[in-house]
Structure 1
Amino acid sequence: MTDLTSLGVAAIRDGVAKGDFKAVEVAEAFNANVVGAKALNAFIVDTPDMAIEAAKAVDADKAAGRTLGKMAGVPIGMKDLFCTNGVQTTAASHILEGFIPTYESTVSSNLWKAGAGMLGKLNLDQFAMGSSNETSYFGNVISPWRRCGGDNAPLAPGGSSGGSSAAVSARLCPAATGTDTGGSIRQPAAFTGITGIKPTYGRCSRWGIVAFASSLDQAGPMARDVRDCAIMLEAMAGFDPKDATSLDLPVPEWEAGLNSDLRGKKVGIPKEYRMDGTDADILNSWDNGIAWLKDAGAEIVDISLPHTKYALPAYYIIAPAEASSNLARYDGVRYGLRELPDGAGLQEMYAATRAAGFGPEVRRRIMIGTYVLSAGFYDAYYTQAQKVRTLIAQDFEKAFENCDVILAPTTPTAAFALGENSEDPLAMYLNDVFAVPASLAGLPAMSVPAGLNKDGLPLGLQIIGNALDEQGVLNAGLAIEERAGFVAKPEKWW
């Protein structure tokens, strides 16, 4: 019998529907992989019983001849930023340790309705703030990948969705939810040789997702390939009246619309993304991607995104500013951690709780955000950053007058070793240099594996589309996937 944990979303869904195997068998196989991979530290909480329970419901529906959902029989990992009814939700922070929601996020609720089951809650950078999964209160996630040549240094799985990327890559789950604020789906997908898409801002509800930067946060799927991402995104997306930024639009049939024939399409190559210091292997993979899309019938055109160099500084003003506002709710009064020194008053309790509950990176970003929002600095920093954001969005609008999608690298390097950049916040922030512009503009963007570098580590290519054109992004991603022929997976050491 086929190793069920080698199957992706489409293969599991179709196999269950055809009766090739039962959903319970799939859940049991993945539960066993989760138990056997504690060395990766990908999960904060395991929920094997919930995966089995959902699988039994799917098997019962199949036996009764009822219509099965888009994700029927597929057990997934849930990033621990999504509130799950009755299951601890921490955002990987001590300040929320022990918090058990009494409600379900809209995205997770949509997935359960589609027949998916939950294997557990996945580790992440604390409050989604990080690019390496080293800021989690519950410890680093370790990438299942290793450099070839005997270097066994533990590698970063990317961030903030590092638990999601490591779990999918290591076959602990066929797919997982991620969130992307400035690259947190795409960068970890690139680091671990999987596929991930950030849809247009507003496609997936933010209700029930622990907020980082509300004008940027967007949920999306992380899976083995483009088709699996399309299936899962269909299940996740949809209008939600509880989210004021949710798009009141029908969800397209992205899976049915997949087509890798790009004849008549134009692919833009932004000259500003050829930055000094970018790894030679990354640039070579970009050239390969251009050739692959040409082979798929696309016309390659040069484009300019002139304000690209201002995207990263603008992002690291806007995102911390929104974070400092959003994280003000964690005060020790209503839920989560409470530190109450002897004789302490209200202000002392606030200070003690936040000092103990927030990690160094979260505190750093709160302080930056509070500073740029303060009287005397608001106009100099925050207002200027918002103007730059508008210019970046306008750059993309002009570019899409001349092309259908944009091709760029996902990251400037392959995965780095844990601890390599942790002492230098600026070096860490530069990991997001190619991902942040699309986030600021609210555009759909995905990372697709493009091959391995000289150290045997995965590299990702990024496709950016116009607003609401997830189909164009998925189709270009499929064209790359078919031509790259990426089948590499990490050798098991855990």
Structure 2
Amino acid sequence: MTERLVPYRADRVTDGGVQPQDLTVDRRWFMSRMAGLWAAAASAGAAGGTLFAATPGSAAPVPTAAGRSGPGTPKDWWDGALARTIRPEALADPTELTISEAAAAFRRRLLKPVDLMAAYLDRINRYEARYQAFLWRRPDAELLDLARRTKIHSGSTALAGITTAEKDNYYTAGIPTTAMSPVYQGFVPAYDSTVHARLRTDGAIMIGKAAMGPLASGRARLPDGTATTYNAWTPDDIRYSPSGSSGGTATAVAGRLATSGTGTQTGGSITSPSNAQNLTGLKPTFGRTSLYGIVPLTITHDHPGPLARDAMDAAIMLQSVAGPDPNDPRTLGLPEVPNYIRAAEVYYWKKRIRVRWETTLGYPPDYLTGANEETRPLREAMLAAMQTVGVTVREVPYPQGWNELTGTVTSTSGEGTNLFLPVLQRDVRLFADRLTGFLNGQFRSADSYLKAMEARYILLKRTLDQFFGQCDVLLIGTAVDRIGLPMMAFPYGLGVDQTTGLTVPRGTTIAAPPFGEERLLAVVAAYQAVTDHHLRRPPDPSGPVAAGARVAAPYKVPADYDATEES
């Protein structure tokens, strides 16, 4: 396990005087900030321009893309990320190690980065032709050389020598970035995205670019609709979706082809694949992580974030990439980046595992009543486990007009159309099965878009006042994507897929007020310290598959496939 003993402090409300950031942020300020951003987006659309161009290579590289305004993550924060104990079974198979465990193993000279890399390459060479998690990979010899040249010392970050898979909409200098779409076919950026640059600066080694839904929509598929990437939990049956446009990253991490990875979320594509593949995914507050150098879908609620194996790993990834970026004005003027790693450390009170800050977890009325026979006992058990670590659990009613405010009235379909309008005008064939969605946005009136912005503001206000006026964190779906609030997904059990009859993970998602990432991490860390769902490993494919071999009959994504909740 990865627990770290934290001394008890008498004032548990503020953890010795350190409050979680969600208690220090003025919510009215956040509402004003988001309203200003939405207004700017609407003005840019009305003027026929955009704040950030979507045309491949249209933005000029800025040398400071990797820069931070401060000194970066302090050394003692990284030290707090090291696992106190390392599971013996994970040492026996290094692909089982979490980031925290691998970093501790490196420091204790139990493992070298090249050993970790060799273990992953062994699995990749045996199984990647089945998983199809990657669109592009570095050659084995290059990866081994990068790992061999990684030196671990007392000042190393927790990411030094750690393997990652990055979604193929993250710019990587000199490496193809296609967003799995003909729109970006052959595109090789001249510079790194800020997120990739920061991970690389902290020592992470990117194995490759992960498959994704075309232009961040739905599951990974070819232009003709043929599905490609398998869910790691059903490696012999492609029908069960890896879920969301970040599904390739999820498959790579869940299938033990990489230790951790990056995704983007516009309508569920970090939380959805995390739930579908037994991972812990974190979608930060809008603006907490930079969108510079990432193929856009919208400019008002795209979110970069990590897909990891547990709360500590998600904290380590976020600690590396969060913070202001001069290339993305959406990241500027925000509260300072706090110590996420400390928030994810397991907290003890009188030798018992407890949530770090006194926290009320709310759930809407239909969270239990609307669950089916399989998921209801899983959800009830999850809530009971939360109570054992000191979380107060209560039902909270939906805010007034919730169904109307979370429906199509707040949709931002026109944003993607506006971003890609020059490409649409040049050749609509490049959008393949995404064309209908982009054309629909073109027919949306300015009046309806402005009404959507107004509805989104009302939704944000009522969520903060009526939901988060009664609880600190909330079990909720993707509605809060549209209003920029942080979300975290985590597994709570296993179930049976009705289509394939196979065992698959079940998970849930919690949200918090603005800049509530610490609170989310603390709650999930406490829950994972008393449960083992996140440690479960999917079955391997039935056997090795030769590279390039056809492993199953082509599976066509249904024509009526709705990607709106998997974007």
Per the shorter chain, which TM-score range? 0.7 to 0.9
Equivalent residue, structure 1, for 2:277 = 192
Q: Bigger shift: 384-393 or 154-163?
A: 384-393
- On the 8 A contact 1:196/1:229 being kept in 2, the answer is yes
**Counterpart secondary structure, 2:488:** strand
Q: Bigger shift: 9-18 or 206-215?
A: 9-18
- On the 8 A contact 2:132/2:230 being kept in 1, the answer is yes
Do structure 1's residue 125 and structure 2's residue 213 form an aligned pair?
Answer: yes
Equivalent residue, structure 2, for 1:326 = 419
- On the 8 A contact 1:314/1:389 being kept in 2, the answer is no
**Counterpart secondary structure, 1:27:** helix
Equivalent residue, structure 2, for 1:378 = 446
Name the CA distance, whole Å, in 2 between partners of 1:312 and 1:53: 49
1:4-19 correspondence runs (5 A): 4-19=94-109
Quote how far apart the aligned CAs of 1:53 are: 4.3
Q: Deviations over 1:327-386 (max 9, x none)?
A: 22436xxxxxxxxxxxxxxx6xx1xx331x1121x21221121111xxxx332x322222
**Counterpart secondary structure, 1:255:** helix
Name the CA distance, whole Å, in 2 between partners of 1:391 and 1:95: 35
- On the 8 A contact 2:107/2:154 being kept in 1, the answer is no
Do structure 1's residue 358 and structure 2's residue 431 form an aligned pair?
Answer: yes
Aligned amino acid, residue 303 of structure 2: Q
Equivalent residue, structure 1, for 2:518 = 471
Quote how far apart the aligned CAs of 1:275 are: 7.7
Name the CA distance, whole Å, in 2 between partners of 1:315 and 1:212: 18
- On the 8 A contact 1:93/1:358 being kept in 2, the answer is yes
Q: Deviations over 1:95-150 (max 9, x none)?
A: 211110010000000000111001000000001112x3346678521112239xxx
- On the 8 A contact 1:463/1:477 being kept in 2, the answer is no
- On the 8 A contact 1:305/1:392 being kept in 2, the answer is no
Name the CA distance, whole Å, in 2 between partners of 1:91 and 1:229: 23
The structure 2 residue matched to 1:25, chosen from 115, 122, 130, is 115
- On the 8 A contact 2:169/2:295 being kept in 1, the answer is yes
**Counterpart secondary structure, 1:472:** helix
Quote how far apart the aligned CAs of 1:52 are: 3.1
**Counterpart secondary structure, 1:264:** coil
The structure 1 residue matched to 2:340, chosen from 245, 254, 261, is 254
1:46-85 correspondence runs (5 A): 46-48=137-139, 49=141, 51-59=143-151, 62=152, 65=153, 67-85=155-173
Do structure 1's residue 313 and structure 2's residue 407 form an aligned pair?
Answer: yes
The structure 2 residue matched to 1:493, chosen from 519, 531, 541, is 541
Q: Deviations over 1:41-73 (max 9, x none)?
A: 1100011455334423422xx3xx572123111
Name the CA distance, whole Å, in 1 between partners of 2:369 and 2:452: 22
Gaps of 5+ in 1: 332-346, 409-433
Name the CA distance, whole Å, in 1 between partners of 2:459 and 2:369: 17
Name the CA distance, whole Å, in 2 between partners of 1:329 and 1:43: 29
Do structure 1's residue 405 and structure 2's residue 473 form an aligned pair?
Answer: yes
Q: Deviations over 1:262-299 (max 9, x none)?
A: 363211112255685x5432333222222121111122
Quote how far apart the aligned CAs of 1:152 are: 4.6
Distance 1:312 1:33, change over 3 A: farther
Quote how far apart the aligned CAs of 1:17 are: 2.2
Equivalent residue, structure 1, for 2:251 = 166
Equivalent residue, structure 2, for 1:444 = 486
Name the CA distance, whole Å, in 2 between partners of 1:69 and 1:209: 24
Quote how far apart the aligned CAs of 1:175 are: 0.5
- On the 8 A contact 2:495/2:504 being kept in 1, the answer is yes
- On the 8 A contact 1:58/1:68 being kept in 2, the answer is no
- On the 8 A contact 1:42/1:166 being kept in 2, the answer is yes
Distance 1:50 1:315, change over 3 A: farther
Q: TM-score, normalised by structure 2?
A: 0.72
Gaps of 5+ in 2: 1-90, 348-353, 498-502, 543-567
